[in-house]
Chains A and B, each alone.
Chain A
Amino acid sequence: MSDYSEFDSVLSRYLDGTLSAEELAHLEAKLVGDDAFAEHVSRWCLTHRQIVELLTETKLHDLMDQFVQGSPGLPKGAFRQPATAVTTEGQQVDIDLAGGSVSDHQAAKWRFARWLTFTAAAAALVGFVTWWVTHQSSLRTLGSAEKSKILTEAPPAERDEIIATLTQVVDGVWAPGAPQLRHGQQLSKGSRVALASGMAKVTYDCGAEVVLQGPCEFVLQDSMLGYLKAGRITAHVPRRAFSFAILSPQVDFVDLGTSFGVDVGVTGTTQLHVFEGEVLCSQPKKPATGRSDVIHVLANKAMEFTTPNGPPSNIAINEEQFARLIALRRAADFTAGHLVEDKLALWLAADVAVTTDAQRRVISWQDIVYGDNQSAEDAIQTVENARPQLVADSLNGHPAIRFDGNSDFLLTTPLETTDDQTVLIVMQYSPSAYNKDRRWGGQVLNYDGPNRESEDIQSDQDLAERTRYLSNTLVPGVLQIGEPLLEEEFKPTLLTGQVFAGFIGSATVEAGRVDTVQVGANNPVVVAFVYDYEYEHGKAFLTINGRLHGSARAFAPQGITSRKIIGRHAWKQLYFHGDLAELLIFNKALSPAELVQTTTYLADKYGIAVDQQSN
């Protein structure tokens, strides 16, 4: 066996989290390139773990005995270390823990194996008990106040409340000692974003977009609150995030539906420039009155605050100072021709604003800011093996995002969508849609995105707790486009649109359900699903290449702010096999003329023949 002792100090520091970046790179290169070294590292990891287990083993056994006291299925004292033990071979052996003898090994194996055969959940129990033991050890060294805090500490789900996503990073260099964030990373309450240089955009789940320019330090205090410690930002706040606030050392800013920039200088001087709408400013309370003054700053105005209690001064608005940050929000700079602008809510195009990794897998598909679509809800995938592929030559020579039907999907930041909806998709199915082992349909688009990433959903209980899963028809419906899900209805490439509205007994309730035809593989199509909600007279219909394929009653409301999933069902592993070139969502039911206009625009762009039959 080769001697890797020269690496052992590096390994030891890795286990303690004190490695430098250079050392890590050196370690990684060796690990990836040398299988024997990888085994050496794995033995270090095993030893590291076993030290934990052995140092807590005695306490663990005592605790497990307490845990199973009274359990009918387990013998009393099953986990105490007996003076003698009987092996599975029927031999009686002495247990000598200090000596590390073979008999000790057999007894340990017998105890552990016998316990685990009683229940599969024992594995989780071991983890829980060990956690409890190690936690107790930590508590021993703390004061009572700290202990109380830990014992009443929120469970992991609450500690990790996700409130935003890092939706763009441009030449970003993180400040020394700051978290090394990644494009697409979800950010929890209290996350710190500190740039030494470059730019980054944080999109809050409430819809507020904050663009930072390094050097800059910003903390995501809460779902509607950020703290700018130093540096320059712009904030674009949509209507639904009304009262989103930015705090700074000297002044608090509360948005009233705006776009504005804030610059906190190194001396503490703070400037506010309001580009659109209105911002309320509040300084620290005055000693004399015990109250703060509220200052209204309107569009195209700017103000400077030099001292905490001193009067602010009007200054000239300087949009140029924030030009780079403003430009970052726009996903593309081009003219869309005859595209309908009114109530456009989401626009994704594979030939515009797609960020990929080194293997051309899609990290983010950026929402094009255009017309009424002034907030960018990018579609993101941070998990490498779940990223779809950007293909340069797909639909009639145009780029498209390819979903493999096994694991690929994208998730938008929360997007507000209304009861009335129009969804247009330019797509084609892959030949793999006809794989013989497919029994259930895959979805192209689903409005029921979870609050966190979909891997969190492992069961119906998870679903009920963590998403908007419908349990009755009083909850808004979920728009879905794709193949029929159920086995007995499934046909590959059969396009269906509906708003799933819940269950009555064991029957599903589907509003506006329209089944069309099997469009086949490698056949580019322009799909339009229009949902015009009204309880008595509402109607939904679905067209393919302009041809109407059916209509149904649109009797269920569906307005909601949620993440939209592209390429799979909300929580079931039912994936889309095919390519998406373009996706548009309108927060209205397009008129016939608007639908023809938009369908024609897309069909012309992608060279798809449109059926001129009147709708």
Chain B
Amino acid sequence: MEADRFSRRASELDHRATTRMDQESRGDFDTESVRELARLWVQSQPVISAYLTANVIDMHHAEDLVQEVAQVVAEKFAEYDPRRSFTSWSLGIARNRLLKYYRLRARDRLVLSEAALSKLSEALERIEHEAEDRRAALRACLEKVQGRRRQVLEMRYEENAKVGAIAEHFGMSPDGVSVMLHRIRSLLFECIQRQLARSEAR
């Protein structure tokens, strides 16, 4: 009886139903969808990367997270509702990944609460349209950072060095390095604002 029941079930079950469910959950899609995904990702990637990089001190890990989010976005793209903001949806995925990152690691620094992270992602979405212009302005402003400030910046950003390591390398105090990084960032921020204002005035 069991064998009869088994063979009956084998013919009754439509494995394509399971496959269809898998496909929908995996997000298999066609070429047009691929292009649409690429177009949306180009727009959103700057703020998503900014969100993750600012909240993960190790830039290697931040890059890993950006890559993971890109993969999840691609895989779940079939679930994306076009009536909703793609950036908002992707930032939601990024936030979940970030929270998972915090959970999996015994945190060695203080991080923002979930409520603050939500506010930050909403704000990033609002300024998303500024990303390209700000990047172009920053490119020009970075050229003006020279000497030791440039070295400190490169060590922090290119070599992913922490404040303590930078201090030791240059024979400075950690507080001194913190102050220098603050000044560099503030100057760059003000330079960007001036560049943007100049562009608008043209």
Contact = CB atoms under 8 A, between A and B. Distances in A.
Given A13-B178, A16-B181, A191 B106 contact: yes
B182 A13 contact: yes
A615 interface: no
Contact of B139 (A43, A54, A128): A54
Q: Tell me what chain B mostly uses at the interface: helix, strand, loop, or mixed.
A: helix
A180 B13 CA distance: 50
A123 B25 contact: no
Given A16-B178, A137-B158, A488-B17, A131 B46 contact: no
B115 A99 contact: no
A102 interface: yes
14 contacts: A16-B57, A39-B123, A42-B126, A43-B134, A45-B124, A51-B188, A117-B35, A117-B38, A120-B37, A138-B60, A179-B108, A180-B110, A488-B17, A572-B25
Interface in B23-75: 25-26, 34-35, 37-39, 41-42, 45-47, 49-51, 53-55, 57, 59-60, 63-64, 66-67, 70-75
A122 B120 CA distance: 26
Interface of A: 5, 8-9, 12-21, 24, 27-28, 31-32, 35, 38-39, 41-56, 97-100, 102, 104-105, 108-109, 112-113, 116-117, 119-124, 126-128, 130-131, 134-135, 137-138, 140-141, 156, 160, 162, 179-182, 185-188, 191-192, 382-384, 440, 452-453, 455, 458-460, 486-488, 504-510, 553, 555, 572-573
A386 B124 CA distance: 25
A488 B112 contact: no
Contacts, number: 284
A47 B188 contact: yes
Contacts of B74: 120-121, 123-124
A12 B9 contact: no
A120 B106 contact: no
B103 A382 contact: yes
B136 A104 contact: yes
Contact of B163 (A16, A38, A488): A16
Contacts of A182: 103
Contacts of A455: 96, 100
Given A18-B178, A54-B138, A54-B139, A123 B46 contact: no
A46 B114 CA distance: 19
A38 B119 contact: yes
Given A35-B123, A181-B106, A453-B103, A49 B185 contact: no
A22 to B, nearest CB: 10
Q: Tell me what chain A mostly uses at the interface: helix, strand, loop, or mixed.
A: helix
B66 A127 contact: yes
Contacts of B168: none
Contacts of B41: 116, 120, 123
Given A24-B110, A43-B130, A127-B66, A18 B163 contact: yes
Given A112-B42, A123-B45, A100 B185 contact: no
A394 to B, nearest CB: 27
Nearest to B138: A50
A486 B18 CA distance: 7
B127 A43 contact: yes
B140 A486 contact: no
A323 to B, nearest CB: 29
Contacts of B78: none
B181 A97 contact: no
Contacts of A98: 140, 143
Given A100-B137, A131-B63, A141-B159, A47 B174 contact: no
